[in-house]
Amino acid sequence: MLTRSEKFDSCSCGQWRFLYLITFITVLAYFYLYLKRRRFQNITSNIPTVFGIPFIGIVYKLIPIKRFLYAISSYFEELNTSTYAVWLGISPIIITIDPEIIKTVTSSAEFLNKAETLYDPLDGAVPEGIITSKVNKWKHNRKLMNGFFNHKALMSFIPVFNRGSNIAVNRLRKMSGRGEHKLFDLIKRVILEVSIETTMGIEMKEGSTENNELVETFSIMMNRIAKVAVCSTMGLGFLARTSSYYKSIRFLRKFLNKLIEQHTDNNNTSRNSETWTDGKESMSSFLEIALNYCERGQLQREDVIIESISLIGASFETVATSIYSALLMLAMHPDVQENLFQEIYTLFPQKNMQVTYEHLKQVPYLDMVVEETLRLMPSIPVVGRETIHKTKLTSQMVLPPKMQVIIPIFSLHRSKTWWGPEAHLFNPNNFLPENIAKRHPYAYMPFSKGARNCVGRRYAEIAVRISLITLVRNLKFSTSFKYEDLHFVDHISLLYDVEPNLQVDLREI
């Protein structure tokens, strides 16, 4: 048997071995970090860099997520720069609001991949869709999908946009004169119904159990994706992938498979993208066009499912957020709301109206209101690109492959450098023609820029304007919430930390 002294020596020896192992691993890890930081010295020596804590970077400063937009914005002022590098974990990324660098990033073929840090959570739910796919697949699918958003196609959607707007008015009328209410969910539900109808070709009838379940499932999925995105910043995305997350994805895939079978059985895939030339009365859904491409071998069935989900999710989030934000700005700025009402009233002295595309050319003040809303509250507040190969960003900086460049649109649009000392205030006059002419064209990008801009930009612009014309013509909005108390959160799309309540009143004329 071992004596007490021998046992102590044996235990002590084991502890020393463990200590040596920990020391070796620590030294090795720090050496790896040293080599990695040296690899990026070309970048970090040319622009201000925030290193943060070794192996963690500044991740801890981004928690809770409600601080994210404001944390990354704060460094522009703190470092007195429009471009800086920051370490997230053991990798650096570049964050910029410099219009010239933004122009390079969004215009170059070397930046056609999306930044993994921002888009991987979305890719997990809709893998290799139009929003997240790598350059080669994206080029192929984007070319096919452009047909869904051509002018004639968009014109065919206008009756659906009008119908959705009138449904929103009817639902909001029930709240008239009853104090302030939360309206965002109501608006999101209406716009989601419109998105499903234009994408899948399903008429969203009131009271349909299946349609209600479809709307509810999409809402759950988008909410869970947002939470995955939040947790992924800390490498904990798996925590948000709950049973409801997977259940919603399974439901949507099953629903789309069923819809595809119905189209196939009814031989409804014979129409092609030229269907749009039949005129405004003929509306083909994206699903019909995509299935036609599928028959030709240009798309896989899996692509049809993924792209359908991607389009619905992206379109309803951006459109609904833009409409709600515009109504909120009008409620907080009664003089702007009155000016807009007078412009709309001139076009529509009667409340029962159908907005046409020609009407949209006669509302310049509405354009200014919408643009200013999207400046302060861009639906997608942060975008990012990633280098494909070794790429020159500036004359002093060469980026390695897979280097990420993040563009916080929220910060860009509020920068005093580009928008003046009152950049934080709501002022539609920022979009008077003479003021637009003074600004760098890349200082404003609510739908991103370049080849990988928002494929549904025109869809969103038309849908938002028709909705606002109908809503403002019929209803008046007000709120007791103060503009200076607004706080925004990045959950893929822009959200409000505290959603302001709005009061709805009927227009007397």
The reply to whether 8 falls in a domain is: no
Q: Which range marks the domain in which residue 319 is found?
A: 97-506
Closest CA to 486 of 427, 424, 431: 424
* 256 vs 309: CA distance, rounded Å: 9
* 292 vs 267: CA distance, rounded Å: 10
Cβ distance 317 to 231 under 8 Å?
no
Residue 57 carries which DSSP code?
B
The reply to whether 129 falls in a domain is: yes
Coil/strand/helix, residue 52: coil
Residue 68 carries which DSSP code?
H
What is the model's pTM? 0.89
The reply to whether 84 falls in a domain is: no
The reply to whether 64 falls in a domain is: no
- What DSSP line would sit under 142-177, residue for residue? HHHHGGGGSHHHHHHHHHHHHHHHHHHHHHHHTTTT
Residue count (the chain): 509
Cβ distance 125 to 427 under 8 Å?
no
The reply to whether 208 falls in a domain is: yes
Query: How many structural domains does the chain have?
Result: 1
Coil/strand/helix, residue 366: helix
- pLDDT at position 6, please? 55
- What DSSP line would sit under 92-112, residue for residue? EEEEE--HHHHHHHHH-GGG-
Residue 132 carries which DSSP code?
T
Cβ distance 152 to 277 under 8 Å?
yes
* 340 vs 53: CA distance, rounded Å: 50
pLDDT by 10s per residue, the chain, length 509: 556 565 555 566 767 777 777 887 888 777 777 777 788 888 888 999 999 888 788 877 777 667 888 999 999 999 999 999 999 888 899 999 999 999 999 999 999 999 988 888 777 778 888 888 999 999 999 988 887 888 988 999 999 999 999 999 999 999 998 999 999 989 988 998 898 888 888 776 666 676 677 777 877 777 777 777 666 655 666 666 778 888 888 888 888 888 888 777 665 444 444 443 333 445 578 888 888 888 888 988 889 888 888 888 888 888 999 999 999 999 999 999 999 999 999 999 998 889 999 999 999 999 999 999 999 999 999 999 999 999 999 888 999 999 999 999 999 999 999 999 999 999 999 999 999 999 999 999 999 999 999 999 999 999 999 999 999 999 999 999 999 999 998 877 888 999 999 999 999 88
The reply to whether 83 falls in a domain is: no
**What pairs with residue 114 in β-bridges?**
385
Domain at 466, CATH number: 1.10.630.10
* 233 vs 391: CA distance, rounded Å: 26
* 209 vs 213: CA distance, rounded Å: 6
Cα distance from N-terminal residue to C-terminal residue, the chain: 101
- pLDDT at position 7, please? 53
The reply to whether 261 falls in a domain is: yes
Q: Phi-psi category of 448—alpha, beta or left, where left has phi over 0 and alpha has psi -120 to 50?
A: left
* 348 vs 360: CA distance, rounded Å: 12
The reply to whether 52 falls in a domain is: no
Coil/strand/helix, residue 265: helix
- pLDDT at position 280, please? 41
Which spans in 333-363 are helix H?
334-347, 357-360
Q: What angle do CA 92, 98, 101 make, to 5 degrees?
A: 70
Q: Is the dihedral of CA 277, 280, 281, 287 positive or negative?
A: positive
